[in-house]
Homo-oligomer: A and B are copies of this chain.
Amino acid sequence: MIRAAVVGASGYIGGELVRILTGHPNVELSAATSSRYANRRVDSVHPNLRSICPLTFSHPDDLETYDVIFLAVPHLESMRQAPELFEHGKVVIDLTADFRLPDEELFRRYYEVHHEAPELLGQFVGGLPELSREALRDADRISVPGCMATAAILALHPAAAAGVLRPEVSVDARTGSSGSGMSSGVADSHAERTNMLRVFAPAGHRHEAEIMQATGLNVRMIATGVEAVRGVQVLCRAELTESLDEKALRAIYRESYADEPFVRVVAQRRGIYRLPEPKILSGSNFCDVGFALHPGQPHVLLIAALDNLVKGGAGNAVQCLNIRFRWPERLGLEFPGLHPN
């Protein structure tokens, strides 16, 4: 049993961490902080945790020491708080964007601010088990990738690693409303947002940098907000370097993910759910990955779907925790998702 704290527990990623850690057999969740809701019950903000989580939010200033701290504060706050948090947690798992990119310059280009703790940038191991499992076993500082980046990297990685993709790739990401965090602008109100198909990033979405970093491909990414609370789906279009049939492509993906507990290859000939869809993944830690070849042309469509708050955030972080502490990787992450949903 290890002691854990969630810093920034009143947001959606934070609440999801609380949900998962409360059900984790090897973790005692000892603190959930929120400056705004300090001293109020956690379940007053996350009503799904009524009778599940008896904690009240503590103030961030009242941290003790923990075996692990999950950092789920807003972007750009993590780089301010991280140095101090290192004194409170042996292992720090950051879920913000602040330590995902390897260098100051790239960070400034994509986030348009100066990094406030550039000396820490290289110290974090990327928290994507499918790519960095070995490094995670000994990592004390882990930076979990963005939700859309996770999906795109998992969609592209096997083909990219096999060398069958030309480097120019377009990524079309679709995301639900929880991706914006607990929001209170008119643009995020139900009346304005429901049923929307809003191309909020017609070029150069920030996750682009992470995807390029991880895959070595030259990615142009756009992002659309769609009707959903949870859920990310990415469609990646690429050109093949060589002629591949479906069987060969399937073999590449199957082999790449054969031992992965949370990646499923979904590319069916029949049925309703032939390709990855987030609809059936809410609450689960799966990332479904699929593909379709363009008949008679060297073009391929690579698709991935996940729950942005789970495999795209809190669940992925807990998977990293399981690896770091040498536990079974599925621990606390068994919920399979619902059908219908």
Chain A interface residues (CB < 8 Å from chain B): 12, 15, 19, 22-23, 44-52, 170, 172, 174, 176-178, 180, 182-199, 202-204, 220, 222, 224, 226-231, 233, 235, 237, 264, 266, 268, 270-273, 275, 277-284, 286, 288, 292-295, 297, 299, 301, 303, 305, 334-341
Contacts and interface: CB of A to CB of B under 8 A. Distances in A.
B197 A177 contact: no
A301 B46 contact: no
B305 A197 contact: yes
A340 B192 contact: yes
A227 B227 contact: yes
A280 B335 contact: no
Contact of A299 (B50, B187, B203, B237): B203
A195 B228 contact: yes
B191 A183 contact: yes
A278 B341 contact: no
A12 B196 contact: no
Nearest to A227: B227
Interface centre among A47, A229, A279, by most B CB within 10 Å?
A: A47
25 contacts: A19-B338, A44-B270, A44-B271, A47-B273, A47-B280, A48-B338, A49-B336, A50-B266, A177-B191, A177-B340, A183-B186, A184-B185, A189-B189, A189-B193, A190-B229, A192-B340, A195-B231, A197-B233, A199-B275, A199-B303, A203-B293, A203-B295, A203-B299, A203-B301, A222-B235
Contact of A339 (B47, B172, B270, B281): B47
Nearest to A237: B170
* Copies of this chain assembled into the complex: 4
Contacts of A228: 195, 197, 227
Contacts of A279: 195-197
B338 A272 contact: no
A227 B195 contact: yes
A310 to B, nearest CB: 9
A294 B45 CA distance: 27
Contacts of A293: 203
Contacts of A339: 12, 15, 19, 46-49
Nearest to A267: B202
A292 B187 CA distance: 20
Listed from nearest, the 9 A-B pairs whose CB atoms lie closest are: A202-B292, A227-B227, A190-B193, A191-B340, A47-B273, A177-B190, A48-B339, A203-B294, A48-B337
